[in-house]
């Protein structure tokens, strides 16, 4: 899943961030092309804000898409939603609330929800709530993963097939478009592994 992107970003971040204490907020990482429908999703290795929940889910601390989204025997997702967000604590809490609604409604149908916060510094009110989420909530404060995924605007979302290919992707606030989400999920669950353009 494009592990070469991560190596390039890690090397770039090392040189950029080693020059000054404030480099994390000043440096610009290279942004790769955003993968489209049918393409394999890039790698995803990020720290979890709710590691206890994830450990119960997959019994491993190796947080990658295969474990969180696809081939791990305890997950075996039919469809995976990767939802990227950045903003104030209030905005992110609203996203978590909507994501939890989707998890409650479709989780038993093996739709996996993963939320990623690309906010540089999250407030305690958000991190405390994220720790209680029943689905993976990951942190990307320096936008290393976001750059590898070609994300230049937030919010962004990707629906992934079990094999890690992208089924649908977009840049609007998915959590505020719940009727569309419900229609898409119902059709996707009825016709698995079919790519669709948005």
pTM: 0.77
- Closest C-alpha among 57, 137, 53 to residue 95: 137
- Over range 44-70, report the average pLDDT: 69
Provide the CATH number for the domain formed by 3-190 in this structure: 3.40.30.10
Model confidence over 109-119: pLDDT tens digits? 888 899 999 99
**Residues 117, 49 contacting (CB under 8 angstroms):** yes
At 168, which helix (H) or strand (E)? strand 166-170
Q: Is the pLDDT of residue 66 over 50?
A: yes
The 8-class DSSP code of residue 73 comes to: T
Q: What is the pLDDT of residue 48?
A: 84
Domain ranges in the chain are 3-190
CA distance 51 to 65: 15
pLDDT band at residue 8, thresholds of 50, 70 and 90?
very low
């Amino acid at each position: 899943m494009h592990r070469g992107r991560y190596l390039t970003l890690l090397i770039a971040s090392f040189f950029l961030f080693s020059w000054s204490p404030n480099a994390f907020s000043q440096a610009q990482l290279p942004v790769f092309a955003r993968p489209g429908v049918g393409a394999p999703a890039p790698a995803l290795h990020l720290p979890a804000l709710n590691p206890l929940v994830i450990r119960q889910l997959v019994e491993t601390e190796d947080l990658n898409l295969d474990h969180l989204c696809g081939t791990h025997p305890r997950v075996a997702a039919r469809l995976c939603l990767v939802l990227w967000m950045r903003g104030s604590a209030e905005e992110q809490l609203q996203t978590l609330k909507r994501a939890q609604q989707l998890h409650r409604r479709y989780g038993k149908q093996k739709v996996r929800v993963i939320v990623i916060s690309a906010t540089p510094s999250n407030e305690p009110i958000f991190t405390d709530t994220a720790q209680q989420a029943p689905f993976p909530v990951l942190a990307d404060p320096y936008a290393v993963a976001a750059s590898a995924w070609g994300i230049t605007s937030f919010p962004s979302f990707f629906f992934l097939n079990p094999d890690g290919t992208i089924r649908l992707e977009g840049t609007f606030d998915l959590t505020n478009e719940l009727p569309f989400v419900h229609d898409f999920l119902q059709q996707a669950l009825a016709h698995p592994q079919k790519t669709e353009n948005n």
